[in-house]
């Protein structure tokens, strides 16, 4: 099963994938444990493996073992040097004090007499808070011949009890002892975390109960008149919320937009600061070159020489500049429209969480109203600009050439 899933996810050319293969084993003879078998670190890419295979595998392993809630089983071979063990080195990166790392020494049946296996298991060569456990796994030949796991566990136990140097640590070795240690550590972890979990569950229960009470009583089975009254009250409450949001009261109470202007204050800022500053800073000669002025005067006078600027040339140039005021005016309307859209989101009443469909309908209607009002507003702005373009009032007192200036 594992081989088929590996070929399906990674292909048959030894590719690498971060997608886990989940395998569930149920048996009355095994205890409850969740194990994540992480790959070893490959140094040289083979098949269709990427060139950065080592870096990818390191990231994959570190992403899993960096979680503080997980327990690390650092598997090392008994016939290899502990100083070069990748599992211990990577475990130390995320667990420098070895508090949640246990060493598992394999292949103890293959080590020679010169290797201090007992020193490793007793932690004299490399210290871990959870210590080391020695195991003897089934060989490939045993698996091929179908050797039963129970028979292997009996043979493993016999090996440790009859070994010349390891029999003193036989009670702390073996796959059976390892599974019991892991189960005890799991139970201890659950017992330590249970008070916090219980407190979190209680807080969630209180929060959901408060939310449930805020929804009110059920409307199922009530007369249509009562349902209509409830609907009308929701509309009234929403309208009040929208009005409060426009006035800026709602945002102050809820704290949704700290440090930002909202509602009427934001709209007033758009008119008095953004739009007004744009108009004040508007340069009447922007985009108007001397050549354009000269050409306009010549077109207005024709072949005759003119001592003063012809009125027709002035009106032509003035209309060109007045047209440029339309763009910031329309942009002001868009900014007000966007602010009203934001106010709409701030106006949501708690009951809308209970009636999600009603919420979408109400918001949709309000958005449609705002959109329908936006285009007439923009048309009025265009009409005002067209009015100014239709008649250049040179008699205005602010105009330098008006009668009051003579």
What pLDDT is attached to residue 214? 67
Do residues 394 and 387 make contact, with C-beta atoms less than 8 angstroms apart? no
Q: DSSP letter string over 225-263?
A: HHHHHHHHHHHHHHHHHHHHHHHTHHHHHH-SSTTS--T
Do residues 263 and 254 make contact, with C-beta atoms less than 8 angstroms apart? no
Instruction: Name the one residue in this structure whose structure tokens are 């100014």.
Output: 388
Indicate the angle between helix axes 149-162 and 175-214, nearest 10 degrees.
120
pLDDT in tens, 88-120: 889 999 988 888 889 899 888 887 776 778 888
Q: Where in the chain is the domain with CATH 1.20.120.1240?
A: 227-390
What pLDDT is attached to residue 252? 46
Considering only CA atoms, which of 295, 328, 327 is closest in space to residue 313? 295
Do residues 2 and 21 make contact, with C-beta atoms less than 8 angstroms apart? yes
What pLDDT is attached to residue 255? 46
As to burial, measured by CB atoms within 10 angstroms (0-12 exposed, 13-18 middle, 19+ buried), residue 37 is exposed
Stretches in the chain below the pLDDT threshold 50:
251-253, 255, 402, 404-406
What pLDDT is attached to residue 203? 92
| Triad 402, 404, 406: Cα angle to 5° | 85
Q: Where in the chain is the domain with CATH 3.40.50.300?
A: 1-196
Q: Give residues with Cβ within 8 angstroms of 394, minimum separation 6.
A: 311, 401, 402
Instruction: With residue 77 as reference, give the H or E element that holds it.
Output: strand 72-77
Distance CA 336, CA 178 (A): 68
CATH dotted code for 227-390: 1.20.120.1240
Q: What fold does the segment set 1-196 form as a domain?
A: Rossmann fold (3.40.50)
As to burial, measured by CB atoms within 10 angstroms (0-12 exposed, 13-18 middle, 19+ buried), residue 330 is middle
């Amino acid at each position: 099963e594992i081989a088929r899933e590996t070929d399906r996810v990674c292909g048959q050319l030894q590719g690498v994938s971060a997608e886990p293969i989940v395998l569930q084993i149920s048996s009355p003879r095994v205890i409850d444990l969740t194990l994540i078998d992480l790959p070893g670190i490959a140094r040289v890419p083979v098949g269709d493996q990427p060139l950065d295979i080592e870096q990818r595998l390191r990231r994959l392993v570190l992403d899993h073992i960096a979680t503080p809630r997980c327990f690390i089983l650092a598997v090392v071979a008994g016939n290899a040097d502990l100083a070069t063990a990748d599992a211990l080195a990577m475990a130390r990166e995320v667990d420098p004090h070895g508090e949640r790392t246990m060493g598992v020494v394999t292949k103890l049946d293959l080590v020679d007499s010169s290797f201090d296996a007992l020193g490793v298991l007793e932690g004299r060569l490399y210290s871990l808070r959870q210590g080391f456990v020695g195991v003897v796994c089934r060989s490939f030949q045993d698996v091929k011949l179908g050797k039963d796991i129970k028979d292997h566990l009996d043979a493993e136990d016999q090996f440790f009890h009859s070994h010349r140097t390891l029999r003193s640590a036989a009670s702390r070795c073996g796959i059976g002892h390892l599974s019991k240690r892991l189960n005890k550590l799991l139970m201890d972890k659950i017992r330590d975390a249970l008070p916090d979990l219980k407190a979190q569950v209680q807080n969630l229960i209180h929060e959901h109960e408060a939310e449930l009470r805020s929804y009110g009583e059920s409307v199922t089975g009530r007369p249509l008149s009562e349902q209509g009254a409830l609907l009308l009250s929701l509309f009234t409450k929403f309208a009040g919320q929208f009005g409060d949001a426009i006035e800026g009261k709602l945002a102050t109470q809820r704290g949704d937009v700290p440090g930002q202007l909202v509602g009427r204050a934001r709209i007033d800022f758009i008119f008095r600061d953004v739009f007004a500053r744009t108009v004040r800073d508007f340069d009447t000669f922007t985009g108007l070159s001397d050549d354009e002025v000269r050409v306009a005067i010549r077109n207005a006078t024709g072949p005759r020489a003119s001592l003063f600027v012809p009125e027709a040339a002035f009106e032509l140039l003035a209309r060109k500049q007045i047209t440029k005021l339309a763009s910031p005016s329309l942009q002001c309307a868009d900014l007000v429209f966007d602010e009203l859209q934001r106010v709409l989101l701030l106006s949501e009443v708690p009951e809308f969480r209970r009636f999600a469909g009603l919420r979408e309908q109400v918001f949709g209607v309000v958005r449609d109203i705002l959109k329908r009002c936006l285009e007439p507003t923009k048309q009025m702005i265009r009409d005002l600009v067209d009015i100014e373009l239709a008649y250049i009032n040179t008699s205005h007192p602010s105009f330098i050439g008006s009668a009051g200036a003579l």
